[in-house]
Chains A and B, each alone.
Chain A
Amino acid sequence: MSDATEDGVSEVVVTENPVVGNDLIISAEHLTLRFGGVVSLRDVSIEMRRGEILAVIGPNGAGKTSLFNSLTGVYQPQEGSIIFTPAGAAPLSVIGKKAYQIARAGVSRTFQASRLFMALSVFENIKIGAEDHRGIGLVGALVKGPGTRRGEHRSDEVVIELLDFVGLRNEANLIASQLSYGARRRLEIARALATDPQVILLDEPAAGTNPSEKLELAELIRRVRDERGVSVLLIEHDMKLIMSLAERLYVLNFGSVIAEGSPDEIRANQAVIDAYLGSSHEEAS
C-alpha cells in the first residue's frame, strides 16, 4: 500500500468499499499521444485499483476518448507505458498489442456512439461477444464436433445469463436497431461483459438516454462491479450520475490530468472549476 499513503483519499475509498482491492489492475504512466502536430494526451498517468469504479471527466476535447482508445489498443501512444494486471495472470504491457488481443486479455469496452451490430438480433450481438474467437479453424467450424457443440452451448448460456443481467430477456429476438437508446446502451454493456472481462471501459454510457434510463444505467453499472466483480472505468458528462457512481475521478483538460480525487474533492477543486467554467485569470479576447 505504498501508493495509497501519498493521498489520504484512496485510503478512505478502500475502507468505504471492501470490494476495492489495493493492487492496481491498470497502471498507465506518462502517456503521450500525438496525431501529427496535435497532442491528444500529454504525460497522462492513471492508476486504477482492482474492483473500483473510476471515472474520467473533462470538457469536450480533453482527451478522454483518446485515453480509452489508448488503453484498449485502438491508438498507440508514442510515449509512456500501460500495464494491465489480470487476476491470477502475469502483468501485460498494453502498448504494441492489437485491440483484439487486449479484449481477449480481459479489458472490454463500449463506445461513445454506440457501435452495435445493428442488423443483428439482441441475442446475436451478445453471442458474438461470448464466443471464443481464438482457436477456430475452418475445419472445426464445418465439422461440428463435440468440442464445437459444447462451445456453442456454453456461449448460449452466457448470452441468456447476460440477457437477464441487463434486463433484455424479452427483447432477445429484436433487431438491435429496434431498441430504444437506453436499451442499446444496456445491450452494449452486455456484449462487452460477454467477453468475460476484468475491466470494463464505458464511454459515455448514459449519452442519449432519458432520466429514468440514466438511473437504470447507474444501477446496472454498480451491479456490474458488485455482482460480477468487474472493475469499471467510465467517461461521463452527466455530473449527477458520475458523482453518485464513481469512487474516484480523474479530470482531464487539454490532454493533461489536472486533478484526481474523490467526488467531494473534485467538486471543491479550483482547477476543475476553472476548466469547466473558464478561469477568471483568462483574458476575455
Chain B
Amino acid sequence: MTIISPANLKRLFLILIVAAVVAIMTGTPGSSTASPTTGVHGSFMERVSWFGLFAAPRWLLFLTLGVIVWLLVSLYRPRARTIRQGIDHVLAFPKELSSRKPTRVTLIVIALVVVILLPKFVHESFWMYLIVEQIGVWILLALGLNVVVGFAGLLDLGFAAFYAIGAYTTAWLTGALPMPALFHHPIPTLWVIPIGILAAMVFGVLLGTPTLRLRGDYLAIVTLGFALIIDDFVETQSGVTGGGVGSSPVPHPSLNVGFWHFHWGISQTPYYYLCLIFVVVFIIVFTSLEHSRIGRAWVAIREDEVAAESVGINPLKYKVMAFAVGAASGGFGGVMSAGLVGIITPGLFTYQVSVNVLVLVIFGGMGSIWGVALGAIVIQTATSYLDNYQPWGYQINDLYMYIGALLIIMMIFRPAGLLPSRRRRREFAMAEGGEEMHTDEVLSGEQP
C-alpha cells in the first residue's frame, strides 16, 4: 500500500482537524467581550518554544505533530496484524499465568501488602489527600454504581443521591445539622456507619420499587430527577440541612474498646485504613454476589429482560436489589466523606458527581470490579494532579472537555473499558456486529 492513497489522505485530513481542535483547546483563552476571536488567533499564531530548542508559531507545531502521527499510523497499518499478533504472543504467557489461582492469590496478597504499607511511603500531604479523598471515596462510589450499571445494566444518572443520603444521615445523627439529632441524642460517628449504609439501602428500595419498572432512558431520567431533588432539598431546606452554608462540623470518629481509645483526627492516615477496610469488604461482597445466583440473574436481566422473565426471574425484585446493594457502598462513601471533610455542603453532591462516578465506571470497564477500581485510581489521580499543579496551561474549567475527549477515544479503541469483564467485552463485541472491528478499520472508516 502506498502512503498516498485516497483512504490514507482522508486519514491525514481527519488527523489535522483533530490537531487543529487540540490547538484551540490548549491555546490561549480569548477575551469574551472585546475581541472574542483573539483566543483562536493566539492559539495558532502564538510563538512557542519546542522543548526549549527553537521557537515557532503554534500552527507549525501542531501541523508537524499531526503529520508525525499520520506517518506513524500509515507505517503501523500494513503491519498492524503482525504487531498485534506479536503483542498477543508476548502477553500469552503472563495472561495464562495470571489466570491460575496461585498467581492470583499471590498478586492479591502483594497488592494488599502494598496498600497497607502505602501511607509509610507517602509523605506529601497532597498525595495523601489524593489517595484518601479523591481515590478512596470515589472507589467506594464507583464500586457501588458498578453494581447498578455494570452488573444489572441499569443506567443510573443520580448516584450522587445515595452519597448525599449517607453524608447527611451522618451529619443528622451526630447532631451536626440544624435539625436536632434523632431523639435529641447525637451518636458517635463510627456508629453511624451501619445506619448510614442501611439508610442508603432503604432509599435505594424506596426509589427503585416504583421507578425500576421503567427501562433504559426512562430510568436514567427518573434517577437524574431523584438526584436533582435531593440536591435541591439539601440546598434549599436550610432549616433541616443547613442549606448552602452546610452543616456544622461532623465530629471525627473515635473508637473506644475497653482501655483502647482511637481517634480519627486531622491526619488522613487513619481514614485511609478505615476506607481500605471497607473497600476490601465491598470488593469481597460484590465479587461473591457477582458469582452467586443473584449475579447470574442480574446478567440475565441485563442481557435480555424478557427472556429472563420467561425462566422465572422477577426482574423488578433483582433490579431493586441491585439498587439497594449499590446504594450501600455509595452510602458508606457519604459517611466516610462526612467524617473526613467535617462540614458538608450541597456542593459535594451535585449532578457532576453522578456523572463523574459514571465516567469512572465506563472508563474502568462496566461490570468489572478491578477495572472500576483501576478506573477510579487513574482518573482521580489525573484530575487531582491537573487541578493541583495545573501543568501546561491547563485550566480547571477545561476538565470535562478532556474527560469527554478521553471517553470518546476510549469508545473507539476500547469500548468495553480499561479492564473489561469477559462478559461485557463479548456483549460489546456483539453489539458491533458479530465480530470485533479493529481500531484501524474504525479510523479509516472502512467497512469490514
Which A positions have Cβ atoms within 8 angstroms of B? 72, 74, 98-100, 103-104, 108-109, 111, 115-120, 124, 127-129, 131-134, 136, 138, 141-142, 144, 148, 151-152, 175, 177, 191-192, 194-195
Contact = CB atoms under 8 A, between A and B. Distances in A.
Given A103-B311, A120-B423, A133-B312, A115 B289 contact: no
A99 B300 contact: no
Given A128-B296, A141-B293, A100 B315 contact: yes
Contacts of A98: 309, 314
B427 interface: yes
A128 B308 contact: yes
A118 B311 contact: no
B311 A129 contact: yes
Contacts of B293: 131-133, 136, 141, 148, 151-152
A104 B312 CA distance: 5
A109 B303 contact: no
B96 interface: no
Contacts of B312: 100, 103-104, 129, 133-134, 195
B307 interface: yes
A137 B348 CA distance: 33
Interface in B253-296: 285, 288-289, 292-296
B426 interface: yes
Interface of B: 285, 288-289, 292-297, 299-300, 303-304, 306-315, 321, 325, 423-424, 426-427, 430, 434
B300 A128 contact: yes
Nearest to B306: A115
Given A117-B303, A120-B303, A128-B297, A141 B289 contact: yes
A191 B300 CA distance: 12
A147 to B, nearest CB: 12
Given A100-B312, A194-B311, A142 B423 contact: no
Given A138-B294, A177-B426, A117 B310 contact: no
Contacts of B292: 141-142, 144, 148
30 contacts: A99-B310, A100-B312, A103-B311, A103-B312, A108-B310, A108-B311, A109-B310, A115-B304, A115-B306, A117-B307, A118-B426, A119-B423, A119-B430, A120-B299, A128-B308, A129-B311, A129-B312, A133-B311, A133-B314, A134-B312, A138-B289, A141-B289, A141-B294, A141-B295, A144-B292, A152-B293, A175-B426, A177-B434, A191-B311, A194-B311
A142 B286 CA distance: 9
Contacts of A103: 309-312
A86 to B, nearest CB: 14
A109 B311 CA distance: 8
Contacts of B308: 128
A124 B307 contact: no
A159 B288 CA distance: 22
Contacts of A104: 312
A119 B311 contact: no
A128 B311 contact: yes
B306 A195 contact: no
A257 B295 CA distance: 43
Contacts of B309: 74, 98-100, 103
Contacts of A191: 311
A124 B310 contact: no
Given A142-B292, A177-B430, A117 B299 contact: yes
A118 B307 contact: no
A142 B309 CA distance: 23
B193 to A, nearest CB: 18
Nearest to A141: B292
Contacts of A111: 306-307, 310
